Amino acid sequence: MARQAKSPGRIAGAAVNWQAHRIGDPVERLKFLRKTVGDRQPFSPVVIRNSGFWKNNRGKIALAGTLLLAWPAIQISQGVSVLLSAVPAVSAQSGEAETFPNVWLLESGTTAEVWSNGLRIERLFETANLPSRFEAYPLDPKRAPVEMSAPVGIVYHTTESHLAPLEENQRKRLKLIRETLLGFIRDNRSYHYVIDRFGRVWRVVRETDEANHAGHSIWADAKYGYLNLNRGFLGVSVETQTAGSGDETPATPAQVHALKILTEMLRSKYRIAAGNCVTHAQVSVNPSNKQVGYHYDWAAKFPYVEAGLPDNYTTPIPAIWLYGFTYDPSLVNVTGSRYWQGLLRAESRLREDATAHGARPEDYRKALSQRYGTLFERVKAKAEASAEVRAISTKESTE
Amino acid sequence: MSTEVKQYVGLDIGTSRVVAARKSGEVETCKSQLNAFVKLPHAKMTEASLTRENVPFSVSDGHIVVYGNESAALADLLGREVRRPMTQGFLNSNEPESLAQMEEILSSVLTPGEDGDPAETRICFSVPAPPAGNQDSLTYHEATVRQVLEKLGYSDIRSINEGVAAVYSELAESNYTGIGVSCGGGLCNVALTYMSVPVMTFSVPKGGDFIDSSAATVTGELADRIRLVKEESFHFNGHYADKIQQALTVYYDDMIQTVVQGLGDALRGSRQVPKMGRKVPLVLSGGGALPDGFKTRFERALQSANLPLPVSEVRMASDPLCTTARGALVAALSE
């Protein structure tokens, strides 16, 4: 600790301290310090030491410190700002290359598939739907949309369906309920995958096709924004209900394990970024009132870590920072506090972006909202066109 | 597209009081309201009386809701307990009307006439440090307060840790290096800053409410009565006038010991604390620090704690009830 404390901050710090004492007005002095030393950034000698920055730059820093003592306040401010900006930013996400699991197909038959990580996929209820083609919208609005077809993400759902007690004397009832549920999901093309009460994984809609699981929804990664995730995102639903589960996840241990190995397989197969594996509550929006959280399955208690993923509840909700959506505070009663981490961070990001654009947050939000409106109309028109194509092809095949 | 900021407001959103500080020319003013309300069945006569007496109230669902400073007196008059929008430093999740009443109380201290156009006002509000393992409560609290302020028309909204606000208010002379301790109704917040940068913040869930309820339990008195005694006549003089005074002394000591111990643990456990090279000042603020003799008691506790960071002096804030709001105002002005 003692060695850390003699970190570069002491030399530059002494200079800044000296200069600050020369500023009489307390507010101006604070303004100078916040601008110079860094606003609300945790003072972390550890970060500087670990980065090797001090070791590599101690000569420059000592020289800068000496110069600082002789320069007027404004020059000191600029000088130290430059120094600090040279310290590499430490981020849990940036700079870390995404790694993907390596899962391969072991056996494939008409009724089931088995994968190298032990995943078995039941195919008895498998069905087709329209091929999934979608547009990804670059975060830079000046760039043109990119046409894609392979899945780029996963949305997790709960079936919120009727559940029988997990008891031996309920076997017949449990089986009947499951098959009724799977039949319903197949007829409505609701999800790509369903994980039943016992952790068995059922493929319903083929991965290459769209499923009606996310409706009006938004997500984004570092490159693109995605709208209406029925296409481009795979829907995985867990047969469970979220109400009345207390603080625990409503998924059984077998379901959590199935979530993990299914996610592994899908991420391996399509190289899906871990940050694009999110819950329905995080992506669901209501375009009419421009609020997030229209559906709130898995708004809390999704076992991210147990499923082999980072805690994506902390990811800023893209609908807010990218397309200017808002939220209703009463949502917290049903969502729980984990969801709110993403909301708060999204609001912060929106404000930071607004500042960077020299705009008031409300004006910036309005501009984002207008952008969403344009994209929404575009997606809607495309969906209507494909529905027409589908109707025509159905008619032709009937004739 | 951006609007010029013409007014600045610092806001202390505490469990027991909400205080707004603003600066007009060289003059700083503070306006505070009790963060509490009482709900009464609606009656025309009551409504007329309240209107005549200029008591702030709202009417909804067949009830009259009196909030702020007058709510305590009215509750006492009617033999009721006041209800609190906040508890333990955060929005009270067990109070169904917390948001609605918070909005009313905030409106009453943020008088538009005094602050000008909210859209041209930069407002900075205080937030507590979350108690260990309870980060989520801060997330929700901060987001919700922000939304209430947005609803009131503010767009340039900032937040500041309560302990850091104490430093910004009182420790300009040491270049904003030192320890700020804010003893509030729900929590005691502590922050160590180095040249204005927060190095370490934490809170302990022992504040005025803890003292009141604990003393009430052992004396068999009502917590409200304990609070009255505490605010009107309590002091640390070493001689216990009665059982209530004795109980208050015990629990005040408990609070001080917890804060000092927490400070020692945090300093010893943190890898981010730089070597200051000199002793740092510590400032005490908040309603909990008001009793005579509190500073001496705190100094004694510090001396026996043997902190890894030496303290040059313990000082009382110039206006302990307004310190956090003033610090938030300074933060808003210095953005």
**Residue A93, pLDDT score:** 34
Structure token pair of residue A248: 């625990």
Instruction: Give the integer Cα–Cα distance in Å for A191 and A264.
Output: 18
**Residue A9, pLDDT score:** 53
- The pLDDT of residue A78 is above 60: no
Answer yes or no: do A66 and A191 share one domain: no
- Whether residue B144 and residue A344 make contact (CB cut-off 8 A), yes or no, is no
Structure token pair of residue A243: 């109400």
**Residue B21, pLDDT score:** 95
**Residue A7, pLDDT score:** 37
Would A93 be classed as within a structural domain?
A: no
Give the helix/strand (H/E) hosting B163. helix B162-170
Return the minimum-mean-pLDDT range out of B24-28, B112-116, B287-291: B112-116
Average pLDDT over residues A81-90: 25
Give the other-Cβ count within 10 Å of B221's Cβ.
17
C-alpha A267 chain-centroid distance: 15
Instruction: Estimate the share of chain A in helix, then strand, then coil, as percent rounded to the nearest 5.
Output: 45, 15, 40
- Of residues B124 and A86, more confidently modeled: B124
Instruction: Give the integer Cα–Cα distance in Å for B23 and A88.
Output: 39
pLDDT-derived band at B245 (thresholds 50, 70, 90) equals confident
Structure token pair of residue B4: 């010029």
- Of residues A16 and A5, more confidently modeled: A16
Mean pLDDT score across all residues of chain A: 78
Would A97 be classed as within a structural domain?
A: no
Answer yes or no: do A150 and A194 share one domain: yes
Average pLDDT over residues B147-175: 93
- Whether residue A30 and residue B99 make contact (CB cut-off 8 A), yes or no, is no
DSSP letters, A294-331, are SS-TTSS---TTTTTS--GGGS--HHHHTT--B--GGG
**Residue A200, pLDDT score:** 97
Q: Are A347 and A320 in contact (CB under 8 A)?
A: yes
Q: What is the ipTM of this complex?
A: 0.85
- The pLDDT of residue A19 is above 90: no
Q: Are B263 and B188 in contact (CB under 8 A)?
A: no
- Whether residue B197 and residue A13 make contact (CB cut-off 8 A), yes or no, is no
Average pLDDT over residues A61-86: 34
Give the other-Cβ count within 10 Å of B96's Cβ.
11
* Rounded to 5°, angle at Cα A301 from A298 and A305: 110
Q: What are the pLDDT digits (tens) for B33-84?
A: 999 999 888 888 888 888 888 888 888 878 899 999 888 878 877 777 789 9
Average pLDDT over residues A197-214: 95
What's the CATH number where A356 sits?
A: 3.40.80.10
Q: What are the pLDDT digits (tens) for A293-320?
A: 888 788 888 999 999 999 998 899 999 9
- The pLDDT of residue A4 is above 90: no
- Whether residue B197 and residue A38 make contact (CB cut-off 8 A), yes or no, is yes
Q: At what angle do helices A53-70 and A73-85 cross, to 10 degrees?
A: 170
CB pairs under 8 A between A and B: 113
Give the other-Cβ count within 10 Å of A237's Cβ.
27
Instruction: Give the integer Cα–Cα distance in Å for A318 and A292.
Output: 10
- The pLDDT of residue A47 is above 60: no
How are beta strands A153-158 and A233-238 bridged, if at all? parallel
Answer yes or no: do A80 and A148 share one domain: no
Instruction: Give the integer Cα–Cα distance in Å for A181 and A238.
Output: 11
Q: Are A277 and A229 in contact (CB under 8 A)?
A: no
**Residue A44, pLDDT score:** 36
Q: What contacts A165, CB < 8 A, 6 or more positions away?
A: none
Q: Are B259 and B189 in contact (CB under 8 A)?
A: no
Answer yes or no: do A71 and A143 share one domain: no
Q: What are the pLDDT digits (tens) for B301-313?
A: 999 988 888 999 9
Question: Which of B144, B155, B333 is facing A361, going by the closest CB pair?
Answer: B155
Cα–Cα distances in angstroms (integers) from residue A243 to residues A92, A298, A301, in the given order:
33, 10, 11
Domain boundary residue, one of A69, A85, A101: A85
Q: What are the pLDDT digits (tens) for B276-303?
A: 778 899 999 999 999 989 999 999 999 9
Q: Does A16 touch chain B (CB under 8 A)?
A: yes
Q: Residues in chain B whose beta carbon is closer than 8 A to a beta carbon of chain A?
A: 1-3, 99, 119, 136-137, 139-140, 142-144, 146-147, 155-156, 168, 172, 175-177, 194-199, 271-272, 274-275, 277, 330-331, 333-335
The CATH code of the domain at B1-34+86-335 is 3.30.420.40
Structure token pair of residue B116: 């000008």
Average pLDDT over residues A18-37: 78
Name the residue in chain B with its Cα closest to that of A1: B271
pLDDT-derived band at A38 (thresholds 50, 70, 90) equals low
CA nearest to B64, candidates B79, B85, B86, B49: B49
Chain B residue numbers touching A368 (CB-CB < 8 A): none
Domain boundary residue, one of A66, A85, A104: A85
End-to-end CA distance of chain A: 82
CA nearest to B180, candidates B20, B24, B1, B330: B330
Would A91 be classed as within a structural domain?
A: no
- The pLDDT of residue A52 is above 50: no
Q: Where are the domains of chain B?
A: 1-34+86-335, 36-83
Q: Which of A222-236, B4-18, B73-87 has the highest mean pLDDT?
A: A222-236
Q: What are the pLDDT digits (tens) for A255-266?
A: 999 999 999 999
DSSP letters, B224-277, are HHHHHHHHHH-B--S---SHHHHHHHHHHHHHHHHHHHHHHHHHHH-S-PPP-S
Answer yes or no: do A135 and A237 share one domain: yes
Q: Are A177 and A165 in contact (CB under 8 A)?
A: no
- The pLDDT of residue A244 is above 60: no
pTM: 0.54
Answer yes or no: do A172 and A259 share one domain: yes
A39-42 LR contacts (CB < 8 Å, sep 24+) = A39/B197, A40/B197, A40/B198, A41/B197, A42/B197, A42/B198, A42/B199, A42/B272
pLDDT-derived band at A27 (thresholds 50, 70, 90) equals confident
- The pLDDT of residue A94 is above 60: no
Residues 20-49 of A with CB under 8 A from B: 20-21, 26-31, 33-34, 37-46
Chain A residue numbers touching B334 (CB-CB < 8 A): 27-28, 30-31, 34
Percentage above 70 pLDDT, chain B? 93
- Whether residue B275 and residue A5 make contact (CB cut-off 8 A), yes or no, is yes
**Residue B182, pLDDT score:** 96
Answer yes or no: do A76 and A205 share one domain: no
Would A90 be classed as within a structural domain?
A: no
How are beta strands A291-292 and B156-161 bridged, if at all? unpaired
Average pLDDT over residues A236-245: 82
Name the residue in chain B with its Cα closest to that of A39: B197
CA nearest to B256, candidates B314, B302, B216, B287: B302
Q: What is the sign of the dihedral through the CA atoms of B233, B238, B241 and B243?
A: positive
* Rounded to 5°, angle at Cα B66 from B63 and B70: 155
Average pLDDT over residues A176-203: 94
Mean pLDDT score across all residues of chain B: 87
Q: Tell the burial category of A73 from Cβ atoms under 10 Å away from its Cβ (0-12, 13-18, 19+).
A: middle
Q: How many CA atoms lie within 13 A of A110 on its CB side?
A: 0
Q: How many domains does chain A have?
A: 2
Domain that holds residue A178: 116-398
Would A141 be classed as within a structural domain?
A: yes
- The pLDDT of residue B238 is above 70: no
Chain B residue numbers touching A7 (CB-CB < 8 A): 274
**Residue A152, pLDDT score:** 96
Q: How many CA atoms lie within 13 A of A379 on its CB side?
A: 25
Cα–Cα distances in angstroms (integers) from residue B226 to residues B211, B238, B258, in the given order:
9, 19, 21
